Amino acid sequence: MSIEEIISRIKPLDQSAMSSARDRQNMLTKPQGSLGRLESLSIQMAGITGQVRPQIQHKVVTVMAGDHGVVAEGVSAFPQEVTPQMVLNFLFGGAAINVLSKHVGARVVIVDMGVAAAMDAHPQLISRRVGLGTANIAKGPAMTRAQAEESILSGVEIVEAEIAKGLDILATGDMGIGNTTPSAAIACVVTGKSASEIVGRGTGVNDEGLRRKILAVENALKVNQPDMKDGLDILSKVGGFEIGGLAGAILGAAANRRPIVIDGFISTAAAIIATTIAPQVKDYLIAAHCSQELGHRLMMEWLGVTPLLDMNMRLGEGTGAALAMSLVEASCKILDEMATFGEAGVSEKA
């Protein structure tokens, strides 16, 4: 399998299914358009899946973890050892994403894409480690181009394995101390915005930490000179292994006509990489929420997506995406289960 092959499999939305879904929405027992984005979301779901009345049975949140050499620049309020500690917390069901996934009936798939510590084997941990964390992007490239490609293809393979088990909607999540810094660098590359317009406080750094973080992004862009039109180049120079894995998961889901609910800042950076590689993937994206991270709204504007929620969240892990999944499911149930005027014997407007 190659990235080019995956790109070739990402097709336009099914316009016929969307038209039929729109017609059905207009016949349901309500004023046309009165359910707002629930209506447009269900029509997008019809186009993605090719089903006039799409149904969601098997929800999956994939949480991909990786470490980042840029933490040496003092960009995080937490030490790097928190990454493997939180992976263990995911595995034992104690994190926010475990609680919210259980709440919405989603299964959590946890992937080690490049944690910079030894991780004991665990039946619920998928190990696709590309390296022991990335290199320091403030000093040079995060990884080689071959490693960038490996991370993307690993993400594709993981999602396709889950599709074989029944996955019909994917939510993306992340874990990696320091990963808002490479995500900000990715956003700066494609949007053309300055680091000070994109970089936020991440885990909650103080003013001095924010200054160091902005400087780290500025140095990363200056040292690496990523090509804004080449997603693999951006990923290899200023990205992360878990960001690459999520980008691959997004590409793999789109290639298999599955909707992708993208979480916050890091997942949106992964979506930017995926969209730079394959612009047609954008139609398969559903933005979960607007993160508190400074540049997140600018990133979503670049992608052309509008978030479903605005909850002042900034945790990551896929928490916002898990919550948004319930809205996507609700939109499909409205389209499928609600009666039409004819079925209900309700008079339409004069």
Residues acting as catalytic residues:
317
Calculate ∠ Cα 259-265-267, nearest 5°: 35
Torsion of CA 257, 301, 227, 75, to 10 degrees: -110
DSSP state of 326: H
> Rounded to whole angstroms, how far apart are CA atoms 70 and 217?
9
CA atoms within 13 A on the CB side of 181: 38
**Token pair 């900034």: residue:** 314
Q: What is the DSSP-derived secondary structure letter of residue 349?
A: P
The DSSP-derived string for 216-253 is HHHHHHHHH---TT-HHHHHHHH--HHHHHHHHHHHHH
Please tell me the distance from the alpha carbon of residue 147 to that of residue 130, in angstroms, as a whole number: 7
Counted residue by residue, the chain has a size of 350
**3-state class of 65 per DSSP?**
strand
Eight-class DSSP state of 34: T
